[in-house]
A and B are shown apart, each in its own frame.
Chain A
Amino acid sequence: MVYLATPEDWQRQSSLLLQARPTTARITTKYKIPNLESSKYQKALKRKRDTETGEKDNAAPKVPKGSLVLKTYDPESGVVLKFKTDKAADVGRLIGGLGRLGRHMAALPESTEGECTLPSATWSQLTEFNKDAVMEDAGAPEPTTADSSRTAKAGPSSDSKPQQAPAGSGSGGGGKKKKKGKK
């Protein structure tokens, strides 16, 4: 029972497991909304009230926080890989990942188009692999990749400056920028 730290890690390890055990391994996705009325949560609340003064509790815990747990399990070897998240933003790409893992299960070749259309930026691990592969193939393009990433970094910042300027110019742009930086 391991919780992996990042979705990329989970994806990679699961994909390795599925390549090794495509028939027996399964992936379970659990979406859970906890029952705040259950005794478990009541106890937790009581303890908090004992230690702190209970006014904070009244505001905070009324909305149950859902969670999403992905689990890859292979009964034959007993391997369990888990990843837990509570962010809605992860759902889309995690399910996309399930699709790619599904291709291993179905014994299809790794996806051809799907991979390109996915937001590759979020799968930084994958792109790193790609870069490594390129560098091994030919040492020459290394400086060009570095240049391109530099220009890319410069790109968004130069874009965002003109956006901020007109907004701030109404009431002292310099002051506003500093405040934003501090936050």
Chain B
Amino acid sequence: MAKEHLSNEAFFTQLTSLIEKTQQKGHGAVYLTQKRLTFDASSTTTTAQKIADDPLWDLNPPNPLPLIIRATDGKSHKLGPEGTKGGKGGRTKNADKVKLKTVVQPDDLDAFFAKYAEVCKAGMQSLKKRDRSKRKKASKKKGGAGTGGDGKV
């Protein structure tokens, strides 16, 4: 947690390059996490304080809370000098682990996720492309029925 929070813009540019790097390398993983941010940096305590004996204390907060989005390459450990796994000193903490994080304010949520989807769609190239020939017909039928029914109700 050495680094500061990135701005949403900077997060996206770095996330794009992280996914791209993984893609070019040909193997690897990217982990993306999202969570409610309950820790306020300006005050020392958590903003949402747990109320004793009430299990539903966090269900209706007075104000919308920001989210924290994290991205890592999942490389917490380095392999040993000869690439040996396990054993004594075989794995060491990886100081170069890629860690990105950004805070999204409630107001920016929709815009953020729209951009997020774009970045992911553009970056994740190893997933199966849509099979244009067969699947299109089936999905067309389904899609037509769904939207038609919805629109007129």
Task: Report which A residues bind B (CB closer than 8 A).
Answer: 19-38, 63-68, 85-92, 95-96, 98-99, 101-103, 105-108, 111, 113-114, 119-122, 124, 127, 130-131, 134, 141, 144-145, 148-149, 151-153, 155-156
Indicate whether A88 sits within 8 Å of B149 (C-beta atoms), given known contacts A95-B117, A102-B67: no
Indicate whether A127 sits within 8 Å of B148 (C-beta atoms), given known contacts A98-B34, A102-B109, A156-B140: no
Point out the residue from B36, B140, B144 that lies within 8 Å of A22, measured CB to CB: B36
How far is B29's CA from A90's CA once the two chains are assembled, in angstroms?
18
Q: Which residues of B contact A64 (CB under 8 A)?
A: 26-27, 126
Q: Would you list the 6 A-B pairs with minimal beta carbon distance, nearest first?
A: A152-B148, A66-B126, A99-B113, A35-B27, A121-B146, A95-B117
Do the beta carbons of B34 and A102 come within 8 Å of each other?
yes
Indicate whether A107 sits within 8 Å of B64 (C-beta atoms), given known contacts A29-B32, A95-B120, A156-B140: yes
Point out the residue from A19, A106, A130 that lies within 8 Å of B66, measured CB to CB: A106
How far is B146's CA from A149's CA once the two chains are assembled, in angstroms?
7
Q: Which residues of B contact A23 (CB under 8 A)?
A: 36, 38, 48, 58
Q: Which residues of A contact B120 (CB under 8 A)?
A: 31, 91, 95
Do the beta carbons of A88 and B124 come within 8 Å of each other?
yes
Do the beta carbons of A152 and B147 come within 8 Å of each other?
yes
- Number of interchain pairs (Cβ within 8 Å): 192
Q: Which residues of A contact B153 (CB under 8 A)?
A: 130-131, 134, 141, 144-145, 148
B121 contacts the other chain (Cβ, under 8 Å)?
yes
Secondary structure at chain A's binding surface: helix, strand, loop or mixed? mixed
Q: Which residues of B contact A29 (CB under 8 A)?
A: 31-33
Do the beta carbons of A153 and B145 come within 8 Å of each other?
yes
Do the beta carbons of B109 and A33 come within 8 Å of each other?
no
Do the beta carbons of B116 and A95 come within 8 Å of each other?
yes
Question: Number of residues in B with C-beta < 8 Å to the partner?
Answer: 59
How far is B127's CA from A68's CA once the two chains are assembled, in angstroms?
8
How far is B58's CA from A98's CA once the two chains are assembled, in angstroms?
20
How far is B35's CA from A107's CA once the two chains are assembled, in angstroms?
12
Residue from B26, B35, B112, B127 having most chain A Cβ neighbours under 10 A: B127
Do the beta carbons of B113 and A31 come within 8 Å of each other?
no
Do the beta carbons of B148 and A149 come within 8 Å of each other?
yes
Tell me how far the C-beta of A141 lies from the nearest C-beta in chain B, rounded to whole angstroms: 7
Q: Which residues of A contact B65 (CB under 8 A)?
A: 105-107
Q: Which residues of A contact B34 (CB under 8 A)?
A: 26-27, 98, 101-102, 105
Indicate whether A124 sits within 8 Å of B116 (C-beta atoms), given known contacts A27-B34, A28-B31: no
Chain B 61-74: CB-based contact to A (< 8 A → 1; otherwise 0): 10111110000001
Q: Which residues of A contact B26 (CB under 8 A)?
A: 33, 35, 64
Do the beta carbons of B110 and A127 come within 8 Å of each other?
no
Q: Which residues of B contact A89 (CB under 8 A)?
A: 130
Tell me how far the C-beta of B90 lies from the nearest C-beta in chain A, rounded to whole angstroms: 15
Least CB separation from B62: chain A residue? A107
Chain B 14-48: CB-based contact to A (< 8 A → 1; otherwise 0): 00000100110011111111111010000000001
Do the beta carbons of A148 and B30 come within 8 Å of each other?
no
- A selection of 18 A-B contacts at a CB cut-off of 8 Å is A22-B36, A31-B124, A32-B30, A36-B27, A38-B27, A66-B127, A88-B121, A88-B127, A91-B127, A99-B112, A108-B64, A120-B147, A121-B147, A144-B152, A148-B149, A149-B148, A151-B148, A152-B145
